[in-house]
Structure 1
Amino acid sequence: MIQQEGSGWRLARDPQRCPFSVLIGGDTWAVELTEDEAGALASLISDLVDNHAALQGQLMAEEEITLELDRNPWWGCLEGDCHAWSLRLILSSANSESRGVEVFWPAPAAAAAAATLRSLWDIPIDQLS
């Protein structure tokens, strides 16, 4: 099991806890995700952060940006300026029996959570046990 946390965020991944092996959280919320949900979330956040990094040099100091990405089952929004940003994420499903959740990490917790989630997904699952 891997567990990491910082100011305003926390992440845990334990592949032995099925089906909800990943926990993400903020100061006042937490939600458990399946490996597939968490993998899709990590990919979506990675793309949002990469897009922000690509545009960062084009933003003036006082300029703000909003980037949205919709990739089933997640919708994500990165909002901020060239130095700091927040993340709002919504998990939804076409299946009426599935759950949905909305989460929010403010700056600077969003950047720390995104970096940790990205690195957590670089670790092969067999090394987590």
Structure 2
Amino acid sequence: MIQREGEGWRLAWDAGRHPFSVLIGGDGWAAELSEAEAFGLRDGLRDLIDQHRQLIDQLMAEEAIELELERGGWWICLDGDRRGWTLRVMLSPEPGQRAIEGSWSRGAAAGFSAALSQLHGQP
């Protein structure tokens, strides 16, 4: 089992729990994901962070940017400026499945994203 947490975020992965083996959470909320959902979130978030890094030098000090991505049932939004960003996510899966919505503050988003990026293989 992998368990990581910080101020305003948490992430846990227990491969023995099926079908929802990954737990993500923020201030006052948590949700369980399947591994495929967690990996989809990880990959989409990685792409948005890479895009933010490519644009950061083009932003003026007072300028803000909002980047959105829709992929595999996920809507992911990174909203911030040169110094950091907040994170919002929504999972809208196939009909008859549960939906998830969550967010992380500027202080929590980077820590959660870093922990999620390390999610691969087996715990």
Same fold (TM over 0.5): yes
Q: Secondary structure at the match of 2:47?
A: helix
Q: What is the distance in 2 between the residues matched to 1:120 and 1:68?
A: 22
Q: Secondary structure at the match of 1:83?
A: coil
Q: Secondary structure at the match of 1:108?
A: helix
Q: Offset of 1:119 from its aligned partner?
A: 1.3
Alignment correspondent of 1:51: 51
1:62-104 deviation digits (Å, cap 9, x = unpaired): 1000000000210111000011100110000232x10101110
Q: Offset of 1:120 from its aligned partner?
A: 2.2
Q: What is the distance in 1 between the residues matched to 2:73 and 2:15?
A: 21
Q: Offset of 1:50 from its aligned partner?
A: 0.7
* Contact preservation (8 Å) 2:39, 2:119: no
Could you tell me the TM-score, scaled by structure 1's length?
Answer: 0.92
Alignment correspondent of 1:70: 70
Q: Secondary structure at the match of 1:10?
A: strand
- Residue 38 (str. 1) matches residue 30 (str. 2): no
Could you tell me the TM-score, scaled by structure 2's length?
Answer: 0.97
Alignment correspondent of 2:114: 115
Runs (4+) of structure 1 exceeding 2 A deviation are: none
Q: Secondary structure at the match of 1:120?
A: coil
Structure 2 segments unaligned to the other structure (5+ residues): none
Q: What is the distance in 2 between the residues matched to 1:44 and 1:86?
A: 15
Q: Which residue type is aligned with residue 87 of structure 1?
A: L
Alignment correspondent of 2:98: 99
Where does 1:1-20 land on structure 2 (aligned, <5 Å)?
Answer: 1-20=1-20
- The alignment covers a number of residue pairs equal to 123
Structure 1 segments unaligned to the other structure (5+ residues): none
Q: Secondary structure at the match of 1:94?
A: coil
Alignment correspondent of 1:90: 90
Q: What is the distance in 1 between the residues matched to 2:101 and 2:75?
A: 9
Q: Which residue type is aligned with residue 105 of structure 2?
A: P
Q: Secondary structure at the match of 1:110?
A: helix
